[in-house]
Amino acid sequence: MDSLAKLRRPDFMPARVDCDPDALKHANRIAAQIGDIRGDTAEQVRTVLSTVLADDLIRRNAKGADIRRMAMAGDVTVALLRKFGLDAGAIVPLTIGDIDLPESLPGSNYSPLRAMQEIMQEAHRCYDYLAAKYGFGYDTAAKGYPEARRAMIAFFDAHYGFSQAGIDMDALAEQTCITSGGLAALKHIATSRIDDIAERRVKEPGNEKLRHRAIQPDASFATWLSMINRSSLFGEGGEVHKIKMLQEDLLQPTAKQVNLFYKTHPVKTETADYEDTWCIAPVGNPSGTVIEPQQLTDVCEAIISNNPHALIILDCAYVRRLKPEMAKKLLYGVINIPQILNRVVFVESFSKTHGVCGVRAGGFFSTNPEIFAQVCRENMLNTAGNGLDKSAFVWAASCATPEQNAALSAHHDFHRDERLGLWHYLKKPQFADLFDADQSHISPEQLAHPGGLYLTPKLASGSSQEKVALRTRCLGVKAQLDTGSYIRLSIGEVRSTFAKYIPR
């Protein structure tokens, strides 16, 4: 553990910035273009940042993925600031889930980094145990090993409330699959849903009009719809719809919007019988907002009422960053209403809760055996199982000690304070022209609690992610919604940067 701790940089940027060959190549190339840097410190930082943001090669290499461009721009800027002897902390780069684990936190004697190091050591022991028991052959069920699945469901119970709802957790563990991150789970669900509907249309008499529809709020994880569109190239993905989210609803869906969608998009038409797949993130990405508990229940009830064959994906990657009681309250209606629960598949991830995005550990589960079997079959076909290492890590993380979990919870509190402080920083008068006057989707009450890592203010007309970066030194990525342009800013660093702006 000591040797690992020594690898950490004394400042707040991840060590990868110093060893990412692409970022370093860009930095060396751009440093030669800049030459002798002039002006005071502030002007020097601005020169570096503006040059990087204008760099055409970084833009072209991102291939249209603006989030990748801005993330690379942050890494390159940090490398250049160090090269010129400037403070790398002068900018706040966009972090795409790069949630660093600090070696210490104020008022804490047990650091998140130490907790994670101990969990990883335990994961190695779990790996040895699983290898000795099951060998190194295929996981023929392709679900992950039972010890890990049972531990994971027991661990999630504190946030989901399975036991309080009378759900058989051993049975649920049998309908749980460990995957290489939540993203892989979403991909398996997308492909299995499309393939199942296409197969039934071809093979089952009377299903000739069966079609698939994918639906999600416009303020959602865009990769899900990209998966659906890509799957459509190789099969019959069907239609794709985005629902306009309103600021007054915290950029989260409402039952009224669901009912309006079905009024204008009937389940049955002359040419199609639709089976829908809705993807909803109770703790939003990129919005960072939390849907109200009754609002989530009402949305799910409206979906099932309009289309009993609909599948609801609940992307819960950030739900366990909430305090357990808040999470259970949020999911109460879903967990306790059988008609809803029977049509839901949950997607989970350890990346954001434990700050280990590179480990790639997540999963999916459903109380509906038919739904689970379809997705699990797709996982088996695409991966032949996700490896002993995934089960070992999930098992160890799910059985962490109270002290370790408390340290990780303190880490979530740290990010809560940073996000709240960032909001107060951006509200400073000198930045008023960058942001729209209406920021009603940002709830002070929600900012007071741990939750998402993102803050997504609405941009003023004529503003841009580049202008925000140059003025505030915060790099973000533009999110274009039906209600206007927003910028997603991410809190994932370990140095306390913004908490000092919280009014005391």
What ranges do the domains of the chain cover? Answer: 1-91, 180-385
pLDDT of residue 320: 96
Q: What count of Cα atoms within 13 Å lies in the side-chain half-sphere of residue 280?
A: 30
What does the pLDDT read at residue 393? 98
Would you state the CATH architecture of domain 180-385? 3-Layer(aba) Sandwich (3.40)
Distance CA(385)–CA(374), nearest Å, equals 15
pLDDT at 258: 98
Cis omega before residue 106 (within 30°)?
no
Whole-model pTM: value is 0.92
pLDDT of 286 reads: 86
Report the alpha-carbon distance of residue 67 to residue 96 in Å, rounded: 8
What are the structure tokens assigned to 464, written together?
């841009």
Exposure string for 321-331, b = 16+ CB within 10 A, e = fewer: bbbeebbbebb
pLDDT for 95-136, tens place per residue?
A: 655 566 777 777 677 888 899 999 999 999 999 999 999 999
Look at residue 429 in the predicted model and tell me its pLDDT: 97
pLDDT of 189-241, one tens digit each? 998 998 888 888 889 999 999 999 999 999 887 777 777 776 554 445 578 89
Name the packing angle between helices 66-83 and 41-53 (round to 10°): 140
Q: What is the DSSP string of 189-246?
A: HHHHHHHHHHHHHHHSTT-TTEEEEEEEESSS-HHHHHHHHHHHHHS---EEEEEPP-
Residue whose structure tokens are 């639709």: 274
Q: Which residues of the chain have pLDDT under 70?
A: 1-19, 95-100, 107, 230-237, 493-494
| Cβ 466 vs Cβ 53: under 8 Å | yes
